[in-house]
Amino acid sequence: MFRMQKPLPPEFSEAGDSFLIESIKRSKEILGESLFILGHHYQRDDIIQFADARGDSLALSKLAAAQTAAKYIVFCGVHFMAEAADILTSDDQIVILPDLNAGCSMADMANIDQVSLCWQDLEAIVDIKNVVPITYINSAANLKAFVGRYGGSVCTSSNAQSVVKWALNKSENSKIIFFPDQHLGRNTAYDLGFNENDMVVWDPHMELGGNDKQELADAKFILWKGHCSIHQRFSTSNIADFRKQYPNGQVIVHPECSHDVVSEADLAGSTDYIIKTITAAPTGAIFGVGTEIHLVNRLATEHPDKTIVSLDPLVCPCATMFRIDLKHLAWILNMLTKGTVTNQIKVEKDIQEFAKLALDRMLEIV
């Protein structure tokens, strides 16, 4: 979804890094405890240095829910994350996204009209009471509200397995529709002992998602045809190249990668899992990592006693995360010191109610 970010004033758009860094420091000092900056692990280093806390989607959701003192929550991440923070914080707290155009291509691969139509189609084929909708946290607030309204839950890559187990245990005939990332859904299902015969893919641009009625009736998992543009780049040939260069190395990848890549890897897990695994590894350990390049480079810098490389040397940074830069952060904080709130992310009340229900379920399941 495209959102219009207004141009920054020349004072910030044309400023050099030294001015911007000093401006951010000054604003943070003025705002004091009224300000709390959250930074996702995929952010560039010059932004992460100013984060009061950093984490993956699950950790940041918990931090947002627990943060009660600050009036302003500045979220250095993407739009769906800021929406989740607004849902989980109190009404008198203000969530701000430095650049409104920081979206998520995966989140945009499923919208409320498409999911509602899919639900209607399924209702005519199966007993809809047995269908449990699960949305990855990389989704719009109205999709989180949809799953909340129909008895489902949000999940992250850290807790997808726990959430899917919870959904399967709701009834003997539970059937799951998982969106918008087919790969996380598929990898989670395989981890729980299911196979390709238990799954179908729903393409929102095709009638019945490209399936026939019997296939949908028989499937245990209906996986939305969505993906992460970064993680889908990694391939088994990347792994083969790494093993050739580093025969004693380990491959660790994010579960947003395709199933063949996850199957070929030595280890697979969430951003938090990747960080903890590499941090705990002994000196001299070698890792080929299949995830966003800023995180890989930061891990390499923070652990100079280990060899940490990206599986794909040509992988690009997440373009939407990359939109959050020093210029936008300095501008947004400077406006706050003047008492002006810009780029507030506010989820509508009717959406917020059911979206919070779905997020609360996720936090309880964890």
Enter the pTM of the model: 0.91
Residues 17 and 47 in one domain: yes
User: Tens digits of per-residue pLDDT, 67-125?
Assistant: 888 999 999 999 998 999 999 899 999 999 999 999 888 999 999 999 999 999 999 99
Q: What are phi and psi of 73, to 5 degrees?
A: -110, 110
Q: Given 185, 209, 228, which residue is the final one in a domain? A: 228
Query: What is the CB neighbour count within 10 angstroms for residue 69?
Result: 9
**59 vs 42: CA distance, rounded Å:** 13
Complete DSSP assignment for 285-353: -EEEEES-HHHHHHHHHH-TTSEEEES-TTPPP-TTGGG--HHHHHHHHHHHHTT---SB----HHHHH
User: Cα-Cα-Cα-Cα dihedral of 6, 9, 14, 19, to 10°?
Assistant: -120
Task: Let me know: does 106 contact 181? Beta carbons within 8 Å.
Answer: yes
- Section 216-245 average pLDDT: 96
Whole-number mean pLDDT of the chain? Answer: 94
Residues 178 and 189 in one domain: yes
Residues 136 and 193 in one domain: yes
User: Tens digits of per-residue pLDDT, 232-287?
Assistant: 999 999 999 999 999 999 999 999 999 999 999 999 999 999 999 999 999 999 99
**pLDDT exceeds 80 at position 200:** yes
**361 vs 366: CA distance, rounded Å:** 9
**Total of domains in the chain:** 3
CATH number of the CATH domain containing 254: 3.40.50.10800
Indicate whether 59 belongs to any domain.
Answer: yes
Indicate whether 77 belongs to any domain.
Answer: yes
Q: For the chain, what percentages of helix, strand and coil (3-state, to nearest 5) are there?
A: 50, 15, 35
**153 vs 155: CA distance, rounded Å:** 6
